[in-house]
Chains A and B, each alone.
Chain A
Amino acid sequence: MKRPIKALLICVLVLCTIGWLTYNRASQSAEFSPAEIAGFVTDDYVGSEACKDCHEEQFKAFSHTPHSRLTGNNSWKGKVTGCESCHGPGKAHIEEGDPKKIISFKSKSSKEVSETCLSCHAGKEDHNNFRRGEHWRNDVGCTDCHTAHSAVATGGNPGSNTLVSEAERRNRDLLAANMLRGSEPQLCISCHRETKAQFSRPFHHKVLEGLVKCSDCHNPHGGFELKQTRLATGTDAGCLKCHTDKQGPFVFEHAPLKVEGCASCHTPHGSSNAKLLTRSTVRQLCLECHSNAHEIGAPDTPNFHNQATLRYQNCTTCHSRIHGSHADRFFFR
């Protein structure tokens, strides 16, 4: 076995051992989320109604969120729900009026805030890699995008007629469903500003127009895929969710599609070049790979493809089935 693979296995084994030891050591204390642990000490919990007297505004907003409805959910009976599921027992805080007697998130780090959310949300397939995701790594937490208290954004200012603008008049009510701080394209763009320029190019996926959402292709909560992209139909790249005719399998595959992915030729966010290509002329794109290349699969450009003539400068004119073909090994038909 080669050395790097050995090193990998050792790393995995060490981590597993640490985990196993930690699990055994901590197994005397039951494995419960903070909300569940709190459920056993009922005397300290006073219920969300008690919070309403002082925090009326937050309570009113919270009462319209999906969190507030857990109280009536059978599977949450006996568990702490409402304000105290995140802020902890409120009895001492109410009796003494001391802000220190309640959990406040104002001075907590993004990761600490996220840990509170993950105590309930980590189990879902969409969320269970958050602790290894790009946002976690860069200390971007749940409440940077979501809000536990806010209801429907008031928004509604007039904006662009064709684009989902900052003024956000479209789909604003969707914010309530996922408790987001803003509409999705604009929320993501507020940090990933360069994407606005990319999505404004002549050729682009219609994200700013509202047809496609960032989260259609990316999982903001992390994932095993690089760039947190989503998968489509099992193991396939997210692009194939909509571009179904490129999925194959083809008898004659253009190997880079399956090996390197669509982004080896296309810029998915937007491009001035037709078909979202990374180069303005197709032959540049083809020649950059089909030079000094492998013997099969990607041979060098044949001698008779005289680049001094227009005929051979338009590679995909003949190789029209460049994504894969059942009928021709040269992708002619």
Chain B
Amino acid sequence: MKNQTGPRWHFLWLMAILVFSAVATRSQQPTSTSTSTTTKPPTTTGNEPPATDDLGNYNVIASVEVGVRGLSVSGNDNKYRSDLNYGNGVRLFDSSFLLRSKEGSGGAFDEFLVTTSGWGGDPFGGTRVSVEKSGLYRFDANVRRSRYFNALTSLANPLNAPVGQHTSNTRHNFSDFDFTGLPENRKIRFYLGFSRDMREGPGTTTARFSGDEYAIVSNTETRAHDFRAGIDANLLGFDLSLLQGARYFHDNTNYTVNLTNQGNNTTNTSRIDQLFRETPTQGTHFWTRFTAHRLFARKLDFTGRYIYLSGRSRYSFFEQTTGRQSNGNLAVPQTATARGEAKRPSTIGDVGLTFLATDKFRISNTFRFDNFRINGEEPLVDVLRQRTLAGGPLATVTTISFFARTTNYRRFMNTVEADYQFNPSYSVHAGYRFTDRHIQLANLDLTTTLAADSESVDNRTHAAIFGFKARPVKAWTIYFDGEHGNADSVFIRIGNNDFTNFRVRNRINVSDKLSFNVALITKDNTNPADVITSPNVPFGTPPGALDVNVKSRHFTSSVDWTPNSKFSLSSGYTHMRVTSIAGILLPISNQRRVGESQYYSRENFFFFNAFVRPTSRLTFYAGYHINKDDGQGDRVSPSNVILIDSYPMSFQSPEARATFKLTRMLDWNVGYTYYNYDDKFFPNQNYHSHLPYASLRIYFGRGE
């Protein structure tokens, strides 16, 4: 599929206006820069705040970058939008505005900070506000928006079409507002908070009807409102914190078919003429969190926490389908209705103790208990009013059924660990973690018959934790830690059973100007299927045929070099590989056969970012990053029961930017970003995109 989104006329106009305005501004203020340089010599050290402009009793440090971005995409526009979704047009790229009182204490506030990024058409935008009056209050707001687009070849695509049947083009707005009263008070503090989460927009999904599947339209609409109120107090030497929260959730998503839909199988008789489905859901979550902390005699650090959550969903389900059934009769319509609820009380209790035995030796114990119980029920009434294809009457079929589900979960976890500090350069730690879980699933299905069943899974895991930090020379620090654990069973087959993880990080700071970072992370997990839990495993399956082995290796290296204020370079290489081989049961032609699922990832990542300032008025930035996954390489499946899969692709993006400092308050920027996606298995998803941009950055309180 080829799609071309060319630059628009207004982009060219705005680009021209920006260039003109930049040049005009530059020509109008030829001397202001030199004046400011004279009055404010650039003596700012790295530790010193930059010079500022004044606004009454406040210093102002602010900047805003506005401009236009062009866009040209060749190749698969859907994949481009699923990955990046940058558009063209006018942009408020980012801005920051800080008001800070000169004397350290202002009137209504000491500090007022607003930062924004990505507004004006970018797929993700955010605004953060922080206002503080020392000793009185602090207010933080975080408002974010994400435009989520997803239309891929590789997902939910039973017809092997250019685009799968599950797509989204939704808008997600989420915001948090938090107020703290008396934030630095040693005895008491208050919290009030509110969060809002909203997701809406069109998409497609799949519905089943009479033995076939149909791509249908979805109209997503979910909302969640969170309220929080709490208090911190110091009482009897304890730091106490109590937080009460409530979430109200609404899901009003609906699904429709308005035109006759033949379904994925166009050779059978069934079809949908009209469909409407909705499951309006109201969820409530009330929760309480209480924590207590105290340092006893400067020797024993104690933290306790208790959280209780009561979650409930009330729903009413309605689905009405008009169409033709697989037996040739018409559904006029088939209606399914249900109304019920699900509940989930949940508890977490934690106790952490650290005994500071000496200045160098500490022992900690962390204990956790958590449990939840989910109960849900669905009384379903299905009424099928039908006629023959010729319009003759048929008896209405009414089916009443009832389903109930219960999930019980209980876990104890305890971690004992100790650490010893030989000297500031060397320390070691070791510990032991024990986990005991009990999971119980139960169901009750009342259809034409009654079926009830339950099953319990217990598993215990023992894990050893160990590691050290070493600084053999001042410039070189090594962090190493590892974990080896063993479980007697797992709840899901790919869960941690017999696992060993290692992580070693090296930081080499040759000087303030040059540093290296080298790290290796390995994870090995094997799940020997010694016990055949399922009667569906074919007789005679050899031991080990259903084992699961997952290995991952991450190697990372990077260098940061900033020889002076005019040049900096940061570059790095990462190799990530995953090898997963799992024995599976593969149903083929109504027979389960023992097979293997193999997944490979061989990913190389390289990046560099360079910055150079050849003159005081001109700076260049160049960046590049590439993710290249070779996947399974030349491995091919020898039979239809061996699934070998991977996602070989490369994704790269060079970027360049030039900044011209026109005045102390104004920069003109021009830049270009290129993205190239190259997919080996789904070449129709490849795309190239070009994103040129021009912008002006306006400063207040700029130091130089």
Within 8 A of B (CB), among A249-280: 249-253, 255-256, 258-260, 264, 272-275, 279-280
Give A329 to B447 CA distance when docked, in angstroms: 13
B479 contact set on A, CB distance < 8 A: 138-140
**A18 shortest CB reach to chain B, Å:** 6
Give B453's nearest chain A residue, CB to CB: A296
Known A-B contacts A137-B429, A154-B44; A19 and B299 likewise in contact (beta carbons under 8 Å): yes
B291 contact set on A, CB distance < 8 A: 125, 128
Give A112 to B421 CA distance when docked, in angstroms: 10
Residue B353, interface by CB 8 Å: yes
Say whether B378 contacts A327, CB under 8 Å.
Answer: yes
Give A100 to B423 CA distance when docked, in angstroms: 19
Residue A15, interface by CB 8 Å: yes
From A63, A73, A264, A279, B599 is in contact (CB under 8 Å) with A279
Say whether A190 contacts B517, CB under 8 Å.
Answer: yes
Known A-B contacts A158-B669, A196-B607, A231-B307; A284 and B348 likewise in contact (beta carbons under 8 Å): no
User: When A and B form their complex, which 7 residue pairs have the shortest distance between CB atoms, in order from nearest?
Assistant: A234-B287, A251-B376, A26-B297, A123-B239, A234-B309, A19-B300, A197-B605
Within 8 A of B (CB), among A190-225: 190-191, 193-194, 196-198, 200-203, 206, 209-211, 224
Say whether A202 contacts B436, CB under 8 Å.
Answer: no
A29 contact set on B, CB distance < 8 A: 297
Say whether A294 contacts B533, CB under 8 Å.
Answer: yes
Say whether A333 contacts B493, CB under 8 Å.
Answer: no
Say whether B344 contacts A256, CB under 8 Å.
Answer: no
Give A187 to B308 CA distance when docked, in angstroms: 34
Size class of the contact patch on chain B: 35 or more
**A181 shortest CB reach to chain B, Å:** 11
Give A280's nearest chain B residue, CB to CB: B647
Residue B174, interface by CB 8 Å: yes
11 extra interface residue pairs, beta carbon distance < 8 Å, beyond A170-B115, A311-B264, A326-B313: A22-B297, A109-B423, A125-B241, A160-B657, A162-B673, A206-B146, A233-B226, A251-B405, A296-B441, A300-B536, A317-B206
Give A18 to B343 CA distance when docked, in angstroms: 42
Interface flags for A104-123 (1: CB within 8 Å of B; 0: not) read 00011111100000000011
Main secondary structure of the interface of A (DSSP, over half): loop
**A249 shortest CB reach to chain B, Å:** 4
From A12, A150, A191, A245, B47 is in contact (CB under 8 Å) with A150
Residue A52, interface by CB 8 Å: no
Say whether B47 contacts A249, CB under 8 Å.
Answer: no
Give A5 to B296 CA distance when docked, in angstroms: 27
Say whether A171 contacts B313, CB under 8 Å.
Answer: no
Residue A292, interface by CB 8 Å: yes
Give A137 to B466 CA distance when docked, in angstroms: 9
Size class of the contact patch on chain A: 35 or more
Give A173 to B407 CA distance when docked, in angstroms: 48
B346 contact set on A, CB distance < 8 A: 234-236
Residue B454, interface by CB 8 Å: yes
**B51 shortest CB reach to chain A, Å:** 10
Give A31 to B297 CA distance when docked, in angstroms: 5
Say whether B556 contacts A173, CB under 8 Å.
Answer: no
Within 8 A of A (CB), among B112-158: 113, 115, 117-118, 124-126, 128, 130, 132, 134-135, 144, 146, 150, 152, 154-158
Within 8 A of A (CB), among B461-519: 465, 467, 469, 479, 481, 491-495, 505, 507, 517, 519
Interface flags for A172-197 (1: CB within 8 Å of B; 0: not) read 11101100000000000011011011
Interface flags for B3-16 (1: CB within 8 Å of A; 0: not) read 00000000000000
Say whether B207 contacts A250, CB under 8 Å.
Answer: no
Residue B273, interface by CB 8 Å: no
B376 contact set on A, CB distance < 8 A: 249-253, 326
Give A271's nearest chain B residue, CB to CB: B647
Say whether B492 contacts A260, CB under 8 Å.
Answer: yes
A176 contact set on B, CB distance < 8 A: 98, 100, 111, 113
Give A252 to B414 CA distance when docked, in angstroms: 31
Say whether A247 contacts B115, CB under 8 Å.
Answer: no
